[in-house]
Structure 1
């Protein structure tokens, strides 16, 4: 199962995430749930880097199947908010389509990445 923890600031804005695991929807190389989640996550990180001035930390630990991302500042730009909201929309859509058996999403207050 993919486990996604979304971090929010005191205003409720998304400021980061931690993703671990594999969906195990299908065999390695054919798992469309893993592929979809991976594309959303990687595209979000790349988009925040390219289209915003927000400073962030990110890390990928392939051997542990972990991706971490967090905006450094307390103030999140409107562009980064939109990109992170889009990520959440996509993840929730995947969960609605394929079920909680393959992707678990939870929300927590901000944690340093």
Structure 2
């Protein structure tokens, strides 16, 4: 299970979906990783928001002080993407 904790100033992801397809690819984890990397890059490159990101094996943390409207839109878009992944694979537990 992938655990996602969203607060007013951070996002924390941990865990692993562990649902490999017949070809051995874990599509859910790949999708969550791609969405999260895209979020980090977009926040850093497309906004003036000060964002700190840390990724280690099995865990990613993204922190900020204040998000601009553009930054909030990017986080909302990321969340919608995760919701779609969860609808397909039922592998994400959201916490607030």
> How many residues are paired up?
95
Aligned position for 1:31: 26
Give how far 1:57 is off: 1.5
Worse-matched range after superposition: 29-38 or 45-54: 29-38
Please list every run of at least 4 consecutive aligned residues from structure 1 whose deviation after the TM superposition is greater than 3 angstroms. Answer: none
Give how far 1:16 is off: 2.3
Give the distance between the partners of 1:32 and 1:90, measured in 2 at CA.
13
Unaligned runs of 5+ in 1: 9-14, 108-113
Aligned position for 1:6: 6
SS of the counterpart of 2:52?
strand
Task: Write out per-residue CA displacement over residues 76-97 of structure 1, whole angstroms, 9 at most, x where no aligned residue.
Answer: 2011001000011111111122
Task: Write out per-residue CA displacement over residues 2-51 of structure 1, whole angstroms, 9 at most, x where no aligned residue.
Answer: 1111112xxxxxx4210011100117x60000000000000000000000
Aligned partner of 2:80 among 78, 89, 99: 89
TM-score (norm 2): 0.90
SS of the counterpart of 2:7?
strand
